[in-house]
Structure 1
Amino acid sequence: MNQQLPYMLSEKELERYKHPIAVPGMGAGLQETLKNARILVIGAGGLGSPLIQYLSAAGVGVIGIADYGVILEEDLHRQPLFNMQDLRKHKAKMAASRLFSLNPWNKHYPFLLQVRPDNAVQVISGFDLVIDCSQHRATHLVVSDACLLQDKPFITGEVHNWVAWWGGFNMLLDNGSRSGSYRCNELQVDEFRNFDAGAMGATHGATALLMVNEVIKYLAGVPGLAGKMHSFNYLHQQFEKTELALDATGVAAVKERGLLTADEYGLEVVPDVED
């Protein structure tokens, strides 16, 4: 009889995760997969803060948090990871601290910087998966191009008023090819954008949880995120899932030329954070 290999999870972790482990199709093996995952999340605001909270709670072993901003009272309605005493403190640092208190079995690394063309490749290099929660078109393009150069799977999404969208870009498909990039699908994404003023807390939190669920499924090898764009209209309870397009010529052009300048992306560069 073959001797069963010991789990890399400690007894305390097995106890902590006993309920998700008991879910059919999950098990200790998938919990180990989550522990081995290295995910970079760009933006710790309305979409990013609940997303990293549930990634950490789920047991993702390494979470990078890139955000150069500070916590503002006007944003607390959609950033419940933070408290009143955190105002004016750096979101990335406070998020890492909060997540450690939530789950000390994981590693949470704050990056107090703006992800931009001169650092994007270096920042993402140590991670298996990149999730951009900046909700900022120019940043999406920078990160998307950097992920193409390193063949990194890329997830991004946005919430505008009552409508949210998110998609799995540059991800391996069953046939060995990769799904379309964010740049390949900008026109499709633009159909779901609405730049009227206002931001609901519940829609950001709900979207983050839907994205986390898809990330867990992706790590488990369950189809549904790669090459798909999901959208949800919270006002009318309407859900859509569409195929992402692949512009092979455009992807090849990005890989040949590399990253553009910040001006060419339309990215306003902010001064480096003084910690």
Structure 2
Amino acid sequence: MIISEKEAQHFKHAIAVPGFGLAMQEKLKMSRVLVIGAGGLGSPVIQYLGASGVGIIGIADYGVINDEDMPRQPIFHVQDVKKHKAKMAGSRLYGVNPFARPYPLLLQAKPETMAFLLDGFDIIVDCTQHLPSHLLINDACIIHDKPLVVGEVHNWLAWYGGFNMPMPDGTRSASYRCAQDITDDYRNYDAGALGVTHGATGMRIATDVIKYLIDVPIGLTNKLYGIDYLHNTNTVHELTADREGIEAVKTKGLLSADDYGLDIVPDVED
């Protein structure tokens, strides 16, 4: 048995779910997920993936916690202010899952760090909510053949989708670039951010990532989910892969930080 008797007891309610069982819990333990961004969207993703028993969670974030982060990042505590998000998110996982193995990575996602960041992970979850980072991470996932989940929350509106997912014929699904026209419609740049909409979206992302890890075929492939929390509406967009565009990314490789419009920050001093 891959998991111990203590772990089986810890996760007994999940194991009791019909169709889930011990085998699926063991799959989660053997899984490796990288979450880039431990802010409003990344916090619930990290928290629920960790609590659910995902074996290894990489947490890539170079930022520190601010007081105004608390309403939408409840994985952190007030006494964590000015501490590194990645480190504190990792330490919090032990509070809900003593078998967790988080790996804080105090790194910015930039062209020269992407190969290191992606190495060894089964799926990448981009919670940066930052267009230049989305483009960079998308291209890196295409080049390194990694499935990717991206999401954003803007006030009452949110979206998330699965990109570069493996298909039954051996090809990959649509990339983030293939869905940009749709995601632009969900962007609302009015000021403000609600904690509950971030949390609700993060939990939906975590649910679909778990389904992917245990081989449930329904969920992320060629799908983009739009959510309007104010009017309680949900829209499922079917995505189509732009094969020429995907091949162009593979041919060109990663662009420069300037080409992505990415502002490079100084390396974090631990």
TM-score range, shorter chain: over 0.9
Q: CA deviation at 1:81?
A: 0.6
- TM-score of the aligned structures, taking structure 2 as reference length: 0.98
**Paired position in structure 1 for 2:144:** 150
**Paired position in structure 2 for 1:244:** 239
Instruction: Point out where structure 2 has 5 or more consecutive residues left out of the alignment.
Output: none
**Paired position in structure 1 for 2:44:** 50
CA displacement, residues 216-258 of structure 1 (integer Å, 9 cap, x when unaligned): 1112222221110011110000011111121111111111111
CA displacement, residues 28-77 of structure 1 (integer Å, 9 cap, x when unaligned): 00001100110000000000011100000000000000001100011100
Aligned-pair identity in percent equals 57
Q: Which amino acid aligns with 1:257?
A: K
1:173 and 1:227 in contact (8 A); partners too: no
**Paired position in structure 2 for 1:214:** 208
Instruction: Point out where structure 1 has 5 or more consecutive residues left out of the alignment.
Output: 1-6
CA distance in 2, matches of 1:244, 1:87: 40
Is 2:101 the partner of 1:107? yes
1:62 and 1:106 in contact (8 A); partners too: yes
Q: CA deviation at 1:100?
A: 2.1
**Paired position in structure 2 for 1:93:** 87
Q: Which amino acid aligns with 1:120?
A: M
- TM-score of the aligned structures, taking structure 1 as reference length: 0.96
Among candidates 20, 27, 30, match of residue 21 of structure 2: 27
**Paired position in structure 1 for 2:178:** 184
Is 2:125 the partner of 1:136? no
CA distance in 2, matches of 1:63, 1:270: 24
What is the root-mean-square deviation in Å for CA atoms of aligned residues?
0.9
Q: Which amino acid aligns with 1:80?
A: P
Is 2:270 the partner of 1:270? no
**Paired position in structure 1 for 2:67:** 73
Equivalenced residues, count = 269
Among candidates 196, 200, 203, match of residue 197 of structure 2: 203
Divergent runs of 4+, >4 A: none
Is 2:2 the partner of 1:8? yes
Q: Which amino acid aligns with 1:148?
A: I
Is 2:156 the partner of 1:162? yes
